Chain A
Amino acid sequence: MEHEPLINTAKYGTLELLFFAAGGLAWALAYMGVLREIVRKNFVEIPATAVCANIAWEFTWGLVYRTDLGALFAWGYRLWFALDVFIVWGLLRYGVRHLATPRLRDYFRLSVVLAILGFGAAIYLLVRQGYDTSTGLVSGYMATLLMSALYVPQFFRERDRTPYSPFVAWCKLLGNGLVIGFCVLVYPENHFLQALCAITLVLDVYYVVLFHTRRVSSAG
């Protein structure tokens, strides 16, 4: 069996690896910011559908498939998964707050479980079909785009926007931006992935602008 390097410098350049590592770290910080709000305010700011897609992606790429970036990154994916397990726990416990119809809460937990299973199966088969990159970024950016798109209407819908964290908004933008840098360097020929990255970036920037204009007015 071929020995897996800690960091795959044979296939990826230093700058590329730095982009990915810094982006991954920013995402880990974003997750910690989300967890802090869960603990302090019983509030899960990531949209429920995005949480389901995320945990499914992290399970698939952390535990079923393995990135070829090296062992360190494979454990990074697992760290994301471990952090996201707590976010899912928070979602199951407090996520009903996002529902416009409070009496539908009986169906909420079942829907979350079914959505995780659905996304998990879809991502597993998408990768098996050969549609993904060896780092999981096609399926990853499909899930991220979904999150970035859902953040905007959810933010608008909340009457009280104070639990939303500026730290998370910026870490999410920074994390995506840096991993997008990796995608541009490593997959310049994959135009579909580039399109997903560009749309995600536009939505993330819009969210940060929205956040700073509307949250302040909401708090005021």
Chain B
Amino acid sequence: MPVATTEWFNTARYPVPLLVLFGVGCFGWVVAYVAIVRNALRNRFLEIPAGAVVANIAWEFVWGFLYPNELGRFFSWGYRIWFFFDLGIVYMLFRYGDKQVELPELKAIFRPACVFGIAAWAVAIYFFVGEGYDTGYGAISGYILNTMMSALYVVIVLRHGHLVDFSLVVAWSKMLGTALLTVFNFLVQPGNPYLLLLCLLTLALDLLYIGLFYAIRSGRAGALEAATREGAA
């Protein structure tokens, strides 16, 4: 179980430069969230995969409201701010998210499936933390979701086929945000190879996504782009 701290910044355990590093990484994700909502409003298409949205909001709820953050109260509030940003994304999910699936049968169950997904992830993460599997700031559960999200992003950009609905700002800010948090984890949790592996897998998938984005945009991945269009047609 995470240890509660009454300090705004737990500098007794985490030196200031490390907390700054973590804070900047988190800010990268705020930039990504804002760009995701802005693009969803403009394109009427939500680029972040539905499976990742339901896991994310559940994680932010559990870590923002149900468990204390070992890094300090400031970061608990940071997680809550993420949560409130993410509520906007969840709204977009319920409004435009069914465009991520093509089949009418899947569209019909899309919203109930999202509700079930949020509830299931919340319960699983709550007990994962309660069982003592997580770090004091939610890194392991967070990176399980992050790895899944990064893998789904690669799949969705290939499947959807219209690059105009995806944002390079999101691609970079999520990669950089995650990368800074990865550096933080390498410094703080060197004895947790499971977490560090998740960090590296996420980074590799994020870089693959950015590489794919540029390759498709520049036309160098002609066959791939044709394939995605064929798939979308």
Which A residues form the contact surface with B (CB < 8 A)?
99-104, 118, 121-122, 125-126, 128-129, 131, 153, 156-157, 190-192, 194-196, 198-199, 202, 214
Q: How far is B125's CA from A195's CA once the two chains are assembled, in angstroms?
A: 9
**A-B pairs with lowest CB-CB distance, top 9:** A101-B231, A103-B227, A125-B194, A192-B127, A191-B127, A192-B131, A129-B194, A195-B127, A199-B120
User: Which residue of A101, A118, A191 is within 8 Å of B230 (Cβ)?
Assistant: A101
In the assembled complex, which residues on chain A have CB atoms less than 8 Å from the CB atom of B8? none
A132 to chain B: closest residue by CB:
B133
Indicate if the CB atoms of B194 and A101 lie closer than 8 Å.
Answer: no
Indicate if the CB atoms of A101 and B158 lie closer than 8 Å.
Answer: yes
Measured between C-beta atoms, what is the minimum distance from B160 to chain A in Å? 10
Q: How far is B120's CA from A194's CA once the two chains are assembled, in angstroms?
A: 12
Question: Can you list, as one digit per residue, whether each of B194-233 has a CB less than 8 Å from chain A (1) or not (0)?
Answer: 1001100100000000000000000000011011101100
B121 to chain A: closest residue by CB:
A199
Indicate if the CB atoms of B133 and A104 lie closer than 8 Å.
Answer: no
Q: How far is B121's CA from A195's CA once the two chains are assembled, in angstroms?
A: 10
In the assembled complex, which residues on chain A have CB atoms less than 8 Å from the CB atom of B226? 103
In the assembled complex, which residues on chain A have CB atoms less than 8 Å from the CB atom of B188? none
Indicate if the CB atoms of B194 and A191 lie closer than 8 Å.
Answer: no
User: Which residue of B128, B159, B194 is within 8 Å of A192 (Cβ)?
Assistant: B128
A121 to chain B: closest residue by CB:
B197
Measured between C-beta atoms, what is the minimum distance from A196 to chain B in Å? 6
Indicate if the CB atoms of A100 and B159 lie closer than 8 Å.
Answer: yes
User: Which residue of A100, A102, A131, A214 is within 8 Å of B194 (Cβ)?
Assistant: A131
In the assembled complex, which residues on chain B have CB atoms less than 8 Å from the CB atom of A104? 158, 224, 227-228, 231
Q: Which of B158, B226, B227, B228 has the most chain A CB atoms inside 10 A of its CB?
A: B227
Number of A-B contacts (CB under 8 A): 68
B130 at the interface (CB under 8 A from A): yes
B24 at the interface (CB under 8 A from A): no
In the assembled complex, which residues on chain A have CB atoms less than 8 Å from the CB atom of B198? 122
Measured between C-beta atoms, what is the minimum distance from A155 to chain B in Å? 10
Indicate if the CB atoms of A118 and B128 lie closer than 8 Å.
Answer: no
Measured between C-beta atoms, what is the minimum distance from B89 to chain A in Å? 21
Q: Which of B98-112 contact A (CB under 8 A)?
A: 101, 103, 105-106
With A101-B230, A103-B226, A104-B158: A131-B123 Cβ-Cβ less than 8 Å: no
In the assembled complex, which residues on chain B have CB atoms less than 8 Å from the CB atom of A190? 131
With A101-B159, A103-B226, A104-B224: A191-B130 Cβ-Cβ less than 8 Å: yes
In the assembled complex, which residues on chain B have CB atoms less than 8 Å from the CB atom of A191? 127, 130-131
In the assembled complex, which residues on chain A have CB atoms less than 8 Å from the CB atom of B159? 100-101
B51 to chain A: closest residue by CB:
A149
With A100-B159, A118-B201, A121-B197: A192-B231 Cβ-Cβ less than 8 Å: no
Q: How far is B201's CA from A190's CA once the two chains are assembled, in angstroms?
A: 28
B124 at the interface (CB under 8 A from A): yes
Q: How far is B105's CA from A131's CA once the two chains are assembled, in angstroms?
A: 38
Inter-chain pairs besides A191-B131, A195-B124, 7 sampled, C-beta below 8 Å: A103-B223, A104-B227, A128-B193, A128-B194, A129-B193, A192-B130, A194-B127
In the assembled complex, which residues on chain A have CB atoms less than 8 Å from the CB atom of B101? 153
A142 to chain B: closest residue by CB:
B144
In the assembled complex, which residues on chain A have CB atoms less than 8 Å from the CB atom of B131? 190-192
Q: How far is B120's CA from A198's CA once the two chains are assembled, in angstroms?
A: 9
In the assembled complex, which residues on chain A have CB atoms less than 8 Å from the CB atom of B120? 199, 202
Q: How far is B105's CA from A41's CA once the two chains are assembled, in angstroms?
A: 25
In the assembled complex, which residues on chain B have CB atoms less than 8 Å from the CB atom of A199? 120, 123-124
B107 to chain A: closest residue by CB:
A156
Q: Which of B131, B226, B228 has the most chain A CB atoms inside 10 A of its CB?
A: B131
In the assembled complex, which residues on chain B have CB atoms less than 8 Å from the CB atom of A131? 133, 194
Measured between C-beta atoms, what is the minimum distance from A141 to chain B in Å? 10
In the assembled complex, which residues on chain B have CB atoms less than 8 Å from the CB atom of A128? 193-194
